[in-house]
Structure 1
């Protein structure tokens, strides 16, 4: 457990480390590759956030742990969204922001990251997100 001296900060650091550890375990990465699990989380969150409407992006962000929410909103400009992306453009966006080769490619990476996030996001919110996407892109989301 991380000790920051403030219980809310300790909790969010622990939740974030748990998410990153789930991504690392899915790929068999040692903790020393934490920069890769962080890059995976960031790339998927940013691509998803930018594809959503402002309202949907805010609803998803509200459910994320505090530290992950900061990663999610980093660099966000709500006047520039939603960015219309089809399936291939979405995958290309994730590949661009995640410059590492991974088993299963970008689709598996997206699935791995979003499955790790599922414990924090309600089923109803996932349904809303998927229903707001074109069918071919919604199929990429678990």
Structure 2
């Protein structure tokens, strides 16, 4: 498909800002100061997820994302056929927390457990990702994590 329209980066920024505002509200961190914290969490969840699904599945997932989420997802991505295998939700949330620290998170003043924050981030992505695609992502994850997503986030 070809188009004669110029890339509208202002539109991407506007969509991204609206999404971050909505995510901040969902996380009970609605202020401008909280946007960076919500952004670190979003990046940490996406980067943790991509490390535990195949490259092909990642490409299928980001095909449904708007441009601003695609950029976050692929930022600093080093493709590898080998994936670390985690088995528990505790390991998954531990990786999310480590990635937040790597991004400069120091406050961790969330009033909810990391698993609930992960749930909220993934639910917020539901406006872009079909239930079928979410189900395909879930199928590549270990049982405990898959069940968590099926029960708390959705999918098929």
TM-score interval w.r.t. the shorter chain?
0.7 to 0.9
2: CA distance, partners of 1:81 / 1:113: 26
Q: How does 1:10-21 map to 2 (within 5 A)?
A: 10-21=10-21
1:112 aligns with 2:117: no
Aligned CA-pair RMSD = 1.7
Q: What residue is the counterpart of 2:26 in the other structure?
A: 26
Q: Which has the higher helix share?
A: 1
List alignment gaps of at least 5 residues for structure 2. Answer: 1-5
Q: Secondary structure at the match of 1:140?
A: helix
**Equivalent pair of 1:107/1:140 in contact (CA under 8 Å):** no
**Equivalent pair of 1:51/1:81 in contact (CA under 8 Å):** no
Q: Structure 1, residues 81-121: CA drift from partner, whole Å, max 9, x if none?
A: 43212222211000112242312211011111111111111
**Equivalent pair of 1:47/1:90 in contact (CA under 8 Å):** yes
List alignment gaps of at least 5 residues for structure 1. Answer: 1-5
Q: What residue is the counterpart of 1:40 in the other structure?
A: 41
Rg larger in structure: 2
Q: What residue is the counterpart of 1:56 in the other structure?
A: 57
TM-score by length of 2: 0.80
Moved more, 21-30 or 77-86: 77-86
Question: 1:15 and 1:79, CA in 2 relative to 1: closer, same or farther beyond 3 A?
Answer: same
Q: What residue is the counterpart of 1:3 in the other structure?
A: none
2: CA distance, partners of 1:80 / 1:36: 31
Question: 1:74 and 1:135, CA in 2 relative to 1: closer, same or farther beyond 3 A?
Answer: same
Give how far 1:7 is off.
6.0
TM-score by length of 1: 0.87
2: CA distance, partners of 1:122 / 1:70: 19
Give how far 1:79 is off.
1.4
**Equivalent pair of 2:55/2:81 in contact (CA under 8 Å):** no
Q: What residue is the counterpart of 1:71 in the other structure?
A: 72
Q: Structure 1, residues 41-75: CA drift from partner, whole Å, max 9, x if none?
A: 10000000111011101111111111211110111
